[in-house]
Amino acid sequence: MSNISKSVSTLEETRTGLCDEFVSVTGSDSAVAQCYLAENDWEMERALNSFFEADMEAVFTVEDSPKKDISPPKVKRRKLDKPQGKIDCIDLTTEEPACSSSSSAKSTNSSKSVEPKAEVKTSDSEEQDGGKLSLISWNVDGLDTVNLGERARGLCSYLALYTPDVVFLQELIEPYVQYLKKRAVSYTIIEGGEEGYFTGLMLKKSRVKLLNSDIISYPTTQMMRNLLVAQVTFRDQELCVMTSHFESCKGQAEERMKQLSVVLKRMREAPTNVTVLFGGDTNLRDAEVTKVGGLPGGVCDVWEQLGKQEHCRYTWDTKANSNKSVPYVSRCRFDRVYLRPAKEGPGSRMTPDHMALVGLEKLDCGRYTSDHWGIYCSFIL
């Protein structure tokens, strides 16, 4: 075989392999794969980004058609019994989650259907809770493009219902971000990356002012992970808000603990007048937190601080969440929120007030907003 023939054969094998990889990631066919790869000079990352963007645009074009019912998926608010001094618990489920304990709060009012608008705007509820800071942290699984349009609308529905001041998001892709910018117009959106998948921060414009932001790299990550940090003010108090998606899978424990150490160091060394909030998909196991020496003094795990309530323990729960078809049951507290109040000034009195899981209700497509449950937290200043 001549050198030219060998070269052509090798090129064909390489491109066939790229097509097979594209098909496995996107669920498309070889013809689609060849089209996108060829248009993007056979660069896999560019081709995938182009495919996801076109896929999202196609989905949202259909959803925005006047011939379709584009009202957001219905979510429900229930008022639950609460301990003395606590705010009403907000629960979006139609029934208690599978991991709820018998001691979880009982319903006191009938369910009331709520249909927030798809465009996320400031709610009157912020006037009632003006003295509290609220946040949602959620891995939205943007890499799963099945029903992604409806799932993105589902996220916006929860944002409209809860109107959190700060939102931590993980596993975003660029088309998802563009959709949020179109719909969540009352939020400033900060991206933790530009290609592949990444994290993001959303800040309610009417209540949270962005001062500056930064992306801190993890030197030895193999999964494009980093730490997204923003300095903000809320009610004339300075906050540092941070989100990250730690290395995934059991075998990446060492890297995950390195990333946790980076986060805890920044929390510990923040200025004394600054309150620090971190939230994200940490993929942590409790033993890994212990191995790095536990949380430093002054830093608390919000779930633990609020009494380790069983009904919001598991944020990754294949027993209750069917988005991922896996042949095993896995129930883990991967998603966590940490707080380090300021050491002086008004921020030193910030305390966790409430926590609940969100996204526990199936959308019309029969799937959940994500394969993770989201975490909703509120804090008393």
Q: Which residues belong to the active site?
A: 281
- Using alpha carbons, select from 204, 82, 53, 66 the residue that is nearest to residue 132: 204
Of 309, 267, 259, nearest to 102 by C-alpha is 309
β-sheet bridge partners, residue 76: 113
Beta bridge partners of 278: 242, 338
Q: How far apart are CA 46 and CA 36, in angstroms?
A: 9
User: Which residues, other chains included, contact 77 with Cβ-Cβ below 8 Å and sequence gap of 6+?
Assistant: 90, 91, 92, 111, 112, 114, 161
| Measured distance CA(36)–CA(48) in Å, rounded | 8
CA-nearest of 12, 9, 37, 11 to 22 is 37
The full length of the chain comes to 381
Spatial distance between the Cα atoms of 290 and 277, rounded to a whole number of angstroms? 20
Angle between the N-to-C axes of helices 148-162 and 44-63, in degrees from 0 to 180, rounded to the nearest 10: 70
Q: SS in 3 state form for 119-171? A: CCCCCCHHHHCCCEEEEEEEECCCCCCCCHHHHHHHHHHHHHHHCCCEEEEEE
337 within 8 A of 306, measured Cβ to Cβ: no
C-alpha dihedral sign at 149, 280, 256, 227: positive
Name the one residue in this structure whose structure tokens are 């801190």: 216
